[in-house]
Structure 1
Amino acid sequence: MRWRAADGRVLHGWVGGDPDGPLVAVLHGCPDTRHVAMTGDVAARGAGVRLLCVSRPGYGASTAYASTHASVADDLAGVVSELGHERFAVLGMSVGGGYAVACAARHADRVTALGLVSAQPPGVREEPVEVLVDEYAAEFLAWRAQVAPDDPDDAALAARWLAMLPPADAALVALRPPAEVAASVREALADPSGYLRDAATMSRPWTHGPDEVRCPARVWFGELDDRAEATDFVRRFADVEVTVRPATTHLATLVAHWPDVLGTVRDLSG
């Protein structure tokens, strides 16, 4: 689906789950897109929640833009209104955590609950985003060339992508047809600006912090995830519970546990 931001930009996303249920909006990781939420469609129907994911600027058909945590949060709130929901929960996956926190802080009168899965902690770099984008570009473009997202061969592209993932995460992704895996990779990597903007923003302190969040928060980490850990920042939420899943990797912390995550967020939302 496509919507328009207040300034006319295209926002590309997906809506699934139970069309009559309360809304849970997913803030995807990096590089990733609306496709990660699609893996939760069956679980969302079972939990009785409607699931939304809007790909950030530069991913998929979402117009590239000098986005911030705040602008992404406001874009999402606008889409939620267009879908006819006043109140909603937010679920941040990995790098999406900072954006989810910003949404909960900026739209505190509307956000009912906050979930964070494999959340990356705030960064410490102080340089402007544009400087960090330039710093990261060469290494990222070299890695992107190895993935070759422009390859029209779905099976070959999917195989290269799976080979780059931890075995447990690759096994989960491989449950989807190669054409779906390839489509998700193309949307994530076709325009380098999506990843580079995310990476630069992730490296800096968050625009909004846990101290500004009024709704209850629940946080999940995977024991085997080398990219996220239960750092002190999550303890700053006023109402928070942290779960560390044994023998679980980064992506599996969400994709292998959709029913529990969605059920928890739904119950917190009342």
Structure 2
Amino acid sequence: MSSRTAEGPQEHDVTIDGRSVRVRDAGDPDGAPIVYFHGTPGSRLDVGFGDGAATQAGVRVISFDRPGYGRSSPAAYDLESVARDALQIATDLGVDRFAALGWSGGGPFALATAAYGGDRVSAVGVAGGLAPPQEMPGGTDAFTPEDQRALSYLPDDPSGAALAFREANQGTLQLLLSARNDDADARWIDWMWGQTDPTVVADPALRTALRTVLDEGLRQGPTGVCWDNVAWGGPWGFALTEVRARAHLWYGEDDQMVPPANGRWLAAQLPQAALTSYADEGHLTPMRHWAEMMRALTA
């Protein structure tokens, strides 16, 4: 099953439809494989903090940058195309069956991979991930009128939707880029998660990991962020009933970025779902429960 024998994380580029996709291969090269989908914004480095735990647990973690993130070529994409990329990457690495895991904005991509991958996906995990906003009651309440206008381009003009989203959110996107380039103390980490995830942001190693993930994910600018919002903000293109793999859902009850109502709704829609809620935790649950999540997905 494994094509990797070297110790330590390995990185390489895979060519898919003429695009270069940067792949990271970490943990135990002979271990049970998990294909990981990063957040919005994020990168293949998202769960690098857990490399040692993965090796110890006998788990192989394969992650990759979506188009326009990190070191992957920019391109238009949707949930299905990223799922197809993941399946192709797994094939190229000699991996037949695997678990899929998405954190935050990566959650919808993990679910899509389970839907399109069929029996190749043994289990799927979502940590603080969105439910389909167009389907979940109240799912679009947080959308601004400008965001609604951007998504009105779908499904016919996804490129127009991505451009409209970028224009509507120039201020927020510029703040993200400014945090990447100018905030040497990474104070944005405290602003975003200081109240909901204090034990995580107080850990120097995890704080460095968060900074590294953002720096790498936004090295090409905010294009990937815009396409993520297009991919999961509009119609998903598949039904949750098509996700036949067992699903594990993890949510912090204090999460202000993706409220736990998303997890409760997903748990009610997915054919096989187990929901775990963490009291007094927010959006950074994988940084406290990584070993637990790996065990559940590879059991």
Structure 2: distance between partners of 1:223 and 1:162:
19
User: Residue deviations 1:55-99, cap 9 Å, x none?
Assistant: 111101111111111111111111111211111110111111111
Query: Residue 165 of structure 1 aligns with which residue?
Result: 192
Give the AA of the match of 2:298: R
Matched, 1:260 2:289: no
Instruction: Provide Cα deviations, 1:215-269, integer angstroms capped at 9, x if missing partner.
Output: 1111111100122323423322221111111111012x211100110011110xx
2:65 maps to 1:71: no
2:240 pairs, out of 203, 207, 210, with: 210
Please point out which of 127, 132, 155 is paired with 2:153: 127
Question: What are the ranges of 5 or more consecutive residues in structure 1 without an aligned counterpart?
Answer: none
Query: Helix, strand or coil for the counterpart of 2:99?
Result: strand
1:179 and 1:8 map into 2 onto residues whose CA distance is: 34
What secondary structure, in the 3-state scheme, does the structure 2 residue paired with 1:95 have?
Answer: helix
- Report the more deviating stretch, 127-136 or 45-54: 127-136
Counting matched residue pairs gives 263
Shift of 1:157: 3.6
Q: Is the 8 Å Cα contact of residues 123 and 206 (structure 1) preserved in structure 2?
A: no
- What residue identity is the alignment partner of 2:222? P
How far apart in 1 are the matches of 2:71 and 2:166? 21
What SS does the corresponding residue of 1:36 show, helix, strand or coil? coil
Change (3 A) 1:241 1:200: same
The 10-residue stretch of structure 1 (174-183 or 258-267) with the greater mean CA deviation from structure 2? 174-183
In structure 1, distance between residues paired with 2:293 and 2:234: 28
Q: Shift in Å at residue 150 of structure 1?
A: 6.2
Tell me, yes or no, if structure 1 residue 228 matches structure 2 residue 254.
Answer: no
The answer as to 2:43 corresponding to 1:28 is no
What is the one-letter code of the residue matched to 2:253?
A: E
Distance 2:264 2:235 in 1: 14
The residue that corresponds to 1:112 in the other structure is 122
- Aligned partner of residue 89 in structure 1, secondary structure: strand
Q: Could you tell me how far apart the structure 2 residues matched to 1:57 and 1:170 are? A: 32
Q: In structure 2, what is the Cα distance between the partners aligned to 1:213 and 1:178? A: 34
Match of 1:238 among 258, 271, 274: 271
Greater displacement, 129-138 / 29-38: 129-138
Question: What is the CA deviation profile of residues 9-58 of structure 1, one whole-angstrom value per residue up to 9, with x for unaligned ones?
Answer: 11113111111101001111101111112122122122211011111111
Aligned to 1:187: 216
CA RMSD for the aligned pairs? 2.2
**Secondary structure in structure 2 of the residue aligned to 1:257:** helix
Q: Partners of 1:136 and 1:233 in 2: how far apart?
A: 26
- SS of 1:165's partner is helix
TM-score (norm 1): 0.88
The answer for the alignment partner of 1:58 in structure 2 is 68
Q: Which moved more, 1:31-40 or 1:142-151?
A: 142-151
Per-residue CA deviation, residues 109-161 of structure 1 (Å, 9 max, x unaligned), is: 2111111111111122553233332332135432343342663x7xx345243
When normalised by structure 2's length, the TM-score is: 0.80
Identify if the C-alpha distance between structure 1 residues 209 and 97 changes in structure 2 by more than 3 Å, giving closer, same or farther.
farther
> SS where residue 109 of structure 1 aligns?
helix
Q: Does 2:249 correspond to 1:219?
A: yes
Aligned CA distance change for structure 1 residues 180 and 259 (closer, same or farther; 3 Å): closer
Question: Does the C-alpha gap of structure 1 residues 157 and 133 become closer, same or farther in structure 2, counting only changes over 3 Å?
Answer: farther
Matched-pair contact (CA < 8 Å) for 2:104–2:129 = yes
Whether the 8 Å contact between 1:188 and 1:195 is mirrored in structure 2 is no
Structure 2: gaps (5+ residues): 1-10, 135-150
